């Protein structure tokens, strides 16, 4: 990579879960101020702001949120450019990439990137409508498809093609809940057993309640800076060494292969190439496990394991604590929670803590290279970032 480099110098997110006592703007302000404090930046140092959020209009009746959130942080008088980014589940990851590009282009030296969603205190119908708005409304949802049902079709195809078992899917949830139990900011902090997953009420066969990420409230924020100013922000910097984004057909029905997400493959290839790393170098990854099946697709399409081996690899502990690459040490979307727009930013927060060596009792030992992977819908958008510790 030539030219300017972006660094993460501040990272924070709110506890994920139900935050009925906090308004939308309070959640973002909490995360934003904590990230700014972590970085040690002043309001007047900030050049630009991005925020990733999927559905404020449907969930809280508010669009035009970038200026609103900047105002909430007490920064309206700086008159900064503030932009909202949306790509369903990938909204946070795309907002982060916009921040990285603003720094690389020379347009900014310090960028604040937030992500948030407030989803739990609305009706089930509104929640369902929002989740479904990331799939094709006219040609999937209208005919009875839900986001979970489409993922169930992917799971069944993966099972038929690669011999993936129901128990292997369950192993993803068991692993991520065990990880979440060590994360004080996670929505679910209790280990679960395979039996819990298998006996949960069905959602769309073979997926049950414990195969699906929960709905959550939460906000996350990171501060990015350029190499020109990184030295003034202390020794906590983590380098963003690769950034890749890709897309695919919105409808699952238009894919030649249901069991690989091409957008993930392309985004990963671009990010690894830019970073000059090979997949074997990756120590820790935060991947988009909106469903148990999507973690299997992710570890395969990111190249951590061979295609079709995601299930056995999970059962054998190759993606768990002490494995080849520790996947979702935070608990992932499954246990940390999934306030949609916040997820992509929370992934970067988690990696930043591991690469700084400050992830307390869930610290991945000697973590040097981390990968963040964030997707939208059934993989029509994917964004992958490579982060490296600076020592």
Partner 1 sequence: MTVPRFWREIPQRYNLQASKCGACDAIHYPPRTVCPECRRASIGNLEEVKLSGRGTVLESTRVHKAAPGYEAQVPYTLALIQTEEGPVITGQVVDHDGRAVSAGDDVRAVFRRLGEDGDAGVIYYGTKWVLA
Which residues lie near partner 1 (CB under 8 A)?
A: 125, 128-129, 132, 137-146, 148-150, 152-153, 156-157, 160, 201-206, 251-254, 258
Distance in Å, CB of 174 to partner 1, minimum: 22
| In the complex, minimum distance from the CB of residue 259 to partner 1, in angstroms, rounded to a whole number | 10
* Cα distance between residue 204 and residue 151, in whole Å: 8
Closest among 242, 220, 238 to 371, alpha carbons compared: 242
- Helix/strand/coil (H/E/C) assignment for every residue in 17-78: ECCCCCCHHHHHHHHHHHHHHHHCCCHHHCCEEEEECCCHHHHHCCCCHHHHHHHHCCCHHH
153/178 with CB nearer partner 1 = 153
Nearer to partner 1 by C-beta: 137 or 360? 137
Q: Which is nearer to partner 1, 20 or 142 (CB)?
A: 142
Instruction: Look at residues 41, 31, 34 and name the one whose alpha carbon lies nearest to residue 110.
Output: 41
β-pairing, 82-85 vs 207-208, is: unpaired
Nearer to partner 1, 36 or 132 (CB): 132
The first and second tokens of residue 161, run together, are 């093609």
Shortest spacing between CB 317 and partner 1, in angstroms = 29
Work out how close the CB of 297 gets to partner 1 at its nearest, in angstroms, rounded to a whole number.
15
Nearer to partner 1, 107 or 160 (CB): 160
> Residue 80 CB, nearest distance to partner 1 (Å)?
34
Reported residue count of the chain is: 391
Q: What's 213's DSSP letter?
A: P
Smaller CB separation from partner 1, 105 or 137: 137
Helix or strand (DSSP H, E) at 274: helix 262-275
Residue 138 beta carbon to partner 1: minimum distance, rounded to whole angstroms: 6
């Amino acid at each position: 990579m030539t030219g300017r480099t972006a660094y993460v110098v501040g990272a924070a997110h709110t506890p994920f879960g139900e935050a009925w006592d906090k308004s939308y703007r309070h959640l973002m302000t909490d995360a934003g101020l904590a990230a700014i404090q972590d970085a040690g930046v002043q309001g007047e140092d900030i050049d630009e702001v991005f925020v990733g959020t999927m559905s404020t209009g449907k969930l809280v009746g508010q669009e035009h949120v970038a200026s609103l959130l900047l105002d909430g942080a007490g920064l309206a008088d700086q008159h900064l450019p503030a932009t909202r980014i949306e790509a369903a589940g990938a909204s946070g990851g795309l907002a982060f990439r916009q921040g990285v590009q603003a720094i690389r282009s020379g347009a900014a030296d310090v960028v604040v990137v937030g992500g948030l969603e407030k989803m739990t205190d609305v009706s089930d119908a509104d929640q369902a409508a929002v989740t479904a708005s990331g799939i094709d409304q006219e040609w999937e949802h209208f005919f009875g498809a839900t986001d979970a049902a489409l993922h169930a079709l992917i799971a069944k195809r993966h099972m038929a093609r690669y011999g993936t078992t129901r128990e292997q899917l369950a192993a993803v949830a068991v692993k991520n809940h065990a990880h979440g139990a060590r994360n004080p900011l996670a929505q679910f902090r209790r280990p679960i057993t395979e039996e819990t997953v298998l006996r949960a009420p069905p959602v769309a066969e073979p997926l049950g309640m414990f195969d699906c990420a929960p709905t959550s409230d939460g906000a996350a924020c990171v501060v990015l800076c350029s190499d020109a100013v990184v030295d003034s922000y202390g020794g906590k910097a983590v380098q963003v060494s690769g950034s890749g984004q890709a897309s695919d057909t919105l409808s699952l029905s238009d894919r030649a292969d249901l069991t690989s997400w091409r957008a993930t493959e392309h985004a990963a290839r671009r990010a690894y190439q830019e970073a000059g790393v090979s997949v074997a170098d990756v120590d820790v990854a935060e991947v988009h496990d909106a469903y148990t099946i999507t973690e299997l697709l992710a570890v395969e399409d990111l190249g951590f394991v061979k295609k079709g081996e995601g299930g056995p690899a999970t059962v054998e502990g190759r993606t768990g604590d002490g494995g080849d690459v520790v996947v979702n040490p935070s608990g992932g979307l499954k246990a940390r929670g999934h306030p949609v727009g916040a997820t992509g930013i929370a992934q970067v927060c988690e990696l930043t803590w591991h690469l700084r060596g400050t992830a307390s009792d869930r610290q991945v030992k000697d973590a040097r290279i981390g990968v963040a992977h964030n997707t939208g819908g059934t993989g029509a958008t994917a964004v992958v970032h490579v982060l490296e510790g600076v020592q």
